Amino acid sequence: MKTIRLREGKDRSLLRRHPWVFHSSIAKGGADAGETVRVEAADGRFLAWGAFSPSSLIRVRAWSFVETDKIDAAHFERRVQRAVALRTRLPVASNGVRLVHGEADGLPGLVVDRYGELLCAQFGSAGTERWKAVIADALLAATGCERLFERSDSGSRGLEGLPAVAGWLRGSGATEATITEHDWQLTLDVAEGHKTGFYLDQRDNRALLGRWVRHFGCQGVLNCYSYTGGFSVAALAGGAAHVTSVDSSAPALARVQAHVALNGFDAARSTVVDADVNQFLRDALKSGARYDCIVLDPPKFAPTAAHAERAARAYKDINRLALRLLEPGGLLFTFSCSGGIGAELFHKIVAGAGLDAEVNAAILQRLEASCDHPTTIEFPEGEYLKGLALLKAAA
Ligand code: SAH
């Protein structure tokens, strides 16, 4: 077993069970990609077992903080079983559920989503790559599913020195799935869609939007960065007269229209626009359009804290435009999924947007990812999605 010795004083975060060891904390030691290493303090005390990643800034991701643990196939089988068992206890109103959420489930770098009987996984770290076959079998055993598609093609794989791969890991066949979320049905394609095919993290926020569209009697709804229209369907189910969905992905917009039909809504109640959202918002303002409810769910503008400043300007811009486009008394659901932008900073950005727009608004609720995407108290960095449900002041 290879050993990684940390520099003096660099043991603190592992002692708090934070699972990352940065390159700069290591005094000596090395191993192959994904190999299990023993991490010890400068004085030789055991700190953790972890997976080594030679080309990543996060040089070790911890598997366990218990010295007597053995990092073998049985270890991963137990972790997968534990993650799956947790989901069966959570209040998830869908058969689309995140089964494994990386660090929060003791499996750093691994994401697994379940869509009915179809599983889709992202192996995002050298350690999970090394244990891929064991993890794949454990997932099938724990769920009873027979088909597992791999979508290890996100940009972050490059940081780990891993190639992008996508394809069937277990089973084969159609890559389409239909899930029942709350009162509606949504489709996805694990091979073609973004990430693992669908954004499960917004599930609870979609339900809330539907309820509030009904409560406030919103008629005209604008869903920006709509992807396949999860919020659009929620708004229609909530009684909106008309929803405009804006996205720059034509295949996603085709699916919005398919979802409107699938859920039995009149096609006349839905318009899709293939456009850059920022440009769309500017044009809409010029044309005098107004909406009773707007959703802003942009992609990650700040992948890391280093991008926070430029991202902050981009968030402020779209929020300023949206606040102006809202009718007085209108509803805004605004989000950021950037890990580099904390909830407090996001609040400040939206406050700045309100000042610039000369619009006041009440925060009705602070929003986050659904509970099958847990954040653990040991790993607050896992928190990424934050949002505000705002009610624009009446005229
Ligand atoms: N709210 C969606 C998820 C949004 S993901 C849901 O509930 O499923 C972000 C979306 O923004 C993606 O579909 C992506 O295609 C789109 N996008 C990214 N940049 C964009 C831009 N500049 N203008 C319009 N859409 C954009």
pLDDT tens by residue, 361-376: 999 999 999 999 999 9
> Rounded to whole angstroms, what are the CA distances from 87 to 8, 148, 313?
40, 18, 37
- What pLDDT is stored for residue 159 in this prediction? 86
Find all residues with CB under 8 Å of 113, minimum gap 6, and list them.
96, 97, 98, 99, 119, 120, 121, 196, 197, 198, 200
- What pLDDT is stored for residue 312 in this prediction? 95
| Residue 337 falls in the annotated catalytic set | yes
Q: Which fold has domain 199-392?
A: Rossmann fold (3.40.50)
CATH 3.40.50.300 fits 73-180, yes or no: no
Residue 46 pLDDT level (bands cut at 50, 70, 90):
very high
- What pLDDT is stored for residue 205 in this prediction? 98
pLDDT in tens, 136-186: 999 999 999 999 999 999 888 888 999 999 999 999 999 999 999 999 999
What is the best residue among 192, 248, 300 to mutate for testing ligand 1's pocket, by most ligand atoms within 8 Å of CB? 248
Q: What percent of the chain has pLDDT over 90?
A: 93
- What pLDDT is stored for residue 360 in this prediction? 96
Average pLDDT, the chain: 96
- What pLDDT is stored for residue 307 in this prediction? 85
Q: Is the pLDDT of residue 382 over 90?
A: no
Instruction: Confirm or reject: Cβ of 199 under 6 Å from ligand 1.
Output: yes
pTM of this prediction? 0.96
Region 245-253: what's the mean pLDDT? 98
Q: Is the pLDDT of residue 197 over 90?
A: yes
Looking at 20-171, which runs of residues are DSSP E strands?
A: 20-22, 26-28, 36-40, 46-52, 58-64, 96-101, 110-115, 118-123, 147-152, 165-170
- What pLDDT is stored for residue 343 in this prediction? 95
- Whole-number Å distance, alpha carbon 64 to ligand 1 midpoint, is 36
pLDDT in tens, 214-235: 999 999 999 999 999 999 999 9
Region 100-128: what's the mean pLDDT? 97
- Whole-number Å distance, alpha carbon 227 to ligand 1 midpoint, is 5
- What pLDDT is stored for residue 302 in this prediction? 81
- What pLDDT is stored for residue 304 in this prediction? 75
Q: Could you tell me where in the chain the CATH 2.30.130.10 domains are found? A: 2-64
Instruction: Confirm or reject: Cβ of 232 under 6 Å from ligand 1.
Output: no
- What pLDDT is stored for residue 303 in this prediction? 77
Region 283-288: what's the mean pLDDT? 98
| Segments in the chain forming alpha helices (H) | 12-15, 73-89, 126-130, 132-143, 156-159, 203-216, 230-237, 250-262, 277-287, 308-325, 343-357
**From 145, 218, 337, 371, the catalytic residue:** 337
Instruction: Confirm or reject: Cβ of 251 under 6 Å from ligand 1.
Output: no
Q: Could you tell me where in the chain the CATH 3.30.750.80 domains are found? A: 73-180
Q: Could you tell me where in the chain the CATH 3.40.50.150 domains are found? A: 199-392
- What pLDDT is stored for residue 189 in this prediction? 98
CATH 3.40.1480.10 fits 2-64, yes or no: no
Region 62-66: what's the mean pLDDT? 98
